Every structure is written in structure tokens, then in C-alpha cells.
Chain A
Amino acid sequence: DIQMTQSPSSLSASVGDRVTITCRASQGITSYLAWYQQKPGKVPELLIYAASTLQSGVPSRFSGSGSGTDFTLTISSLQPEDVATYYCQKYNNAPLTFGGGTKVEIK
């Protein structure tokens, strides 16, 4: 099975900072990669699918890039409401594995 590895596992940044989270697949998954945001105590929400397509309603400060095995989620200007854990997920075939998550906090 393909493994999904996220880094870092946690980060602390200041409001307005550019934040980058990486996700690596152990084998190529073309662009079948989604990103989810889970705020504390809440249900996960879809941010990005097809590696770089922003889900409707998601602020434009979020962006995704990559294909094959290496992917990136970028928050261009971190806001207090972005405090959350972010997960990548492969969905090219089963199992639909998630990465381990990246917890983002405000410094």
C-alpha cells in the first residue's frame, strides 16, 4: 500500500507568515491528492482536491501544488482562524490513506 508522509508534524508561525506543509507519497499518485482542514473539536473540511483545485468557498490564501509523489499546501498569509490540523489524502485507489497530519499554531 502507498504510504503518505506529512512534514512537519507541527509548526508555529506568526499571523501574516507564509506557511508550507509538505506531503510525500511512497509511490506516484499523479494528482489524486486532497487536503483537509480540521479545526479543534470540529469535523474535517475539504480545502483542495486534484492537488491544486480550491474547493468552493475556501479562502484564496490557501493553495496546493505538486504531482506524482511530492505535494505542498501553502497558506500565503496565516490568519488566526487557520489554527487547525491539516491532512493530505491520496484517492487514486483504495486504501484512501491519509497523511499523519500537521498541526498549525499561532506563535
Chain B
Amino acid sequence: QVHLVQSGAEVQKPGASVKVSCKASGYIFTYYTLHWVRQAPGQGLEWMGWINTDDGNTKYSQQFQGRVTITRDTSASTAYMELSTLRSDDTAVYFCARGTVTYYFDYWGQGTLVTVSS
């Protein structure tokens, strides 16, 4: 069965960076895209970007362009999302999600809480 397991909660100071991992299992990693979505406390879902796990190409939301970097390690079936220059309003739960061929999300990671606080 498909599983996406994310790294644990993080507390970071404003201006710092955070890197969250998402380890996939139960399917061929390079056959599906991997997306990142965040959810601020009490708020809705916000798509951040995706990576083509086969060739490493990425696409980011304009809102995060320049601050977010998504990478992958195919040998470890793991994707990473790094967000830099953190602000207090980056405090959120960050989810990874598997994208199907047509890019809707059929499996999600458990979420990683990132808290930005001085």
C-alpha cells in the first residue's frame, strides 16, 4: 500500500530555513509527481509547488517563487521541500501529496508542523 511519511515537527526562528522530507513507499517513486501543500492554523489549503520525480523538473506557486525549493532523491524515494527566509506567517502544517498522471492528489503525507517563532 502507498505511504508518504514526512519528517517531524520543526521550530525555526524568523529568517531561518526549514527542510521537510517526504519518504514514499508502496509504489514506483518516479512514476508520479510529488506536490507540497500547506495549511496555516484554521485556514485552507494552499498549493506550493511540485516536482517531476523522474526528471527533477519543478514548478512553484508564484507566491513562493524564490523562497521554496523542491528536490528529490530517487535512490531514497524521498522528496524534500525547503522554505527559506521564514516569517511568522509561514507557521503551518506542510503536506506532501502524490500527484496522479493528471495531477489530482490521491495520497497525502501525515503533515509536518512548522512553527516560526523568535
Q: Which residues of A contact B (CB under 8 A)?
A: 1, 32, 34, 36, 38, 43-46, 49-50, 55, 85, 87, 89, 91, 94-101
B62 contacts A by Cβ under 8 Å: yes
Q: What residues of chain A lie closer than 8 Å to B102, measured between beta carbons?
A: 32, 49-50, 91
Which of A1, A45, A87, A94 lies in contact with B45, CB distance below 8 A? A87
Q: Apart from A94-B61, A95-B61, what are 14 other A-B pairs with CB-CB below 8 Å? A: A1-B62, A36-B45, A38-B45, A43-B108, A44-B95, A44-B97, A44-B108, A46-B104, A46-B106, A87-B44, A89-B104, A89-B105, A94-B59, A98-B46
User: C-beta contact mask, B18-59 vs A, less than 8 Å → 1, else 0?
Assistant: 000000000000000001010000001111001000000001
Which one, A43, A45, A85, contacts B111 given CB within 8 A?
A43
Q: Which partner residue on chain B sits nearest A48 by CB separation?
A: B104
Query: Bound complex: CA of A85 vs CA of B103, how far in Å?
Result: 21
Please tell me the size bucket of the interface on B.
20 to 34
| Most chain B beta carbons < 10 A, residue from A46, A87, A96 | A96
**CB-nearest residue of chain B relative to A6?**
B44
A94 contacts across to B, CB distance below 8 A: 50, 59, 61
B110 pairs with A43, CB closer than 8 A = yes
Chain B residues closer than 8 Å to A46, beta-carbon distance: 104-106
18 contacts between A and B (CB under 8 A): A43-B108, A44-B95, A44-B97, A44-B105, A45-B108, A46-B105, A55-B106, A85-B44, A89-B47, A91-B102, A95-B47, A95-B61, A96-B50, A96-B103, A98-B47, A100-B44, A101-B44, A101-B45
- In the bound assembly, the distance between CA atoms of A55 and B104 in angstroms comes to 11
